[in-house]
Amino acid sequence: MNTLKIAIQKSGRLSEDSLKLIKECGIKFSNGKGKLKASADNFPIEFLFLRDDDIPGYVEDGVADLGIVGENVLVEYDNDVKLVKKLGFSKCRLSIGVDRNWDYKNIKELDGKSIATSYPKILGNYLKKNNVNAEIHEISGSVEIAPSIGLADAVCDIVSSGSTLLSNGLKEADVIMRSEAVLISGKNLSADQVKTLNQLLFRMESVQAGKNNKYILLNAPNDSIDEIISLLPGMKSPTVLPLAMEGWSSLHSVVKEDEFWEVIEKLKEAGAQGILVAPIEKMIV
Ligand code: ATP
Ligand code: MG
């Protein structure tokens, strides 16, 4: 059997982007609202929709072969599973939050204090590493209200913009770990399942490479082509085509998303004109 079962968060901050990635990989399925299972129509994969906390355990037990979870959950539960790939979405931090009037300098200030968190293991290890002796209050939700109701002196919770902390009179004081969504797998996949996983990874990588790059077209006088080529090495090398106008060429290439603005400036300086930039849906590298 080459079919893989993948566990995805049923509803929450990971669900939508996890399903979007599956769809961008060309995998079609219909998940009737509230259904806990679904199968793909055109790829050997089945979906289980679960709470994110349960996903690493199900993958370890072999109930699911793959899962998508936040690294924060993966590290906290510490199950015997493999981290296959970082997926680049649901980026957040696990941070210490303290009263916004606290002139917090470093983690040592939490010595002798109490900290509320849903991540006792990660926090405990971090405190230990820093030789800080604090009391950990494990609570499962609404951690950020703990200081205002007198339950704890500080919190350790997931932060992305910091607005939840702020609206509870707290500020982000220390970052304990950075997290993003990851693909995990069990350790006992069959050879056929590994083949399916590799097909899935190939598709995911093509989607990610597409997102990280832009397609760029521009016109340039022939005497600046060499300089432009050095700025736009492309996948192999850029395509250069003559324009109808004597002495000019059109150049097609790819540019990395995060180098984009810097490269555009340099291209303009080198004499490029009529620069067009288009998104890439998939890129096979
Ligand atoms: P469940 O009901 O499945 O247990 P949950 O309430 O525990 O869901 P969510 O709040 O949906 O979890 O968050 C799921 C994961 O998304 C988190 O473990 C974290 O990795 C990530 N995450 C949480 N908050 C944010 C945020 N504000 N921005 C980005 N990613 C986040
Ligand atoms: Mg959860």
Q: What is the mean pLDDT, run by run of 10 residues, along the chain of 285 residues?
A: 96 96 95 85 97 97 98 98 97 98 96 98 98 97 95 97 95 97 98 98 96 96 95 89 96 94 95 96 91
CA distance 10 to 51: 6
Q: Report d(CA 228, CA 183) in Å as an integer.
A: 38
Which of 191, 267, 275 minimizes the C-alpha distance to 229? Answer: 267
Residue pair 222/240 in contact (Cβ under 8 Å)? The answer is: no
| pLDDT score, position 112 | 98
Which pLDDT score, from 0 to 100, does residue 34 have? 77
Mutate to test the pocket of ligand 1, among 53, 73, 90, 166 (most ligand atoms within 8 A of CB): 90
Q: How many CA atoms lie within 13 A of 247 on its CB side?
A: 3
Position 55 scores a pLDDT of 98
Residue having the nearest C-alpha atom to atom 16 of ligand 1: 13
Please check whether residue 29 is in contact with residue 95, taking contact to mean a CB–CB distance below 8 angstroms. Answer: no
Q: Is the CB of 55 under 6 A from ligand 1?
A: no
Q: How far apart are CA 138 and CA 121, in angstroms?
A: 10
Contact, 91 vs 31, CB < 8 A? no
- Residue 76 Cβ < 6 Å to ligand 1: no
Report the candidate in 163, 164, 130, 157 with the shortest Cα–Cα distance to residue 141. Answer: 157
Q: Whose CA is nearest to atom 14 of ligand 1?
A: 13
For residue 72, give the ligand nearest its CA.
1
CB atoms within 10 A of CB 123: 25
Instruction: State the pLDDT at residue 193.
Output: 98
- Regarding beta strands 37-39 and 45-50, do their DSSP bridges make them parallel or antiparallel, or are they unpaired? antiparallel
CA distance 42 to 65: 18
* Distance of CA 239 from the midpoint of ligand 2 (Å): 49
CA distance 232 to 226: 10
**Count of H helices and E strands in the chain?**
8, 15
Task: Report the pLDDT value the prediction gives residue 20, as an integer from 0 to 100.
Answer: 96
Question: Which residue has the CA at smallest separation from atom 20 of ligand 1?
Answer: 70
Closest CA to 66 of 189, 172, 178: 189
CA distance 181 to 199: 20
Residue 73: CB within 6 Å of ligand 1?
Answer: yes
Model pLDDT, residue 282: 94
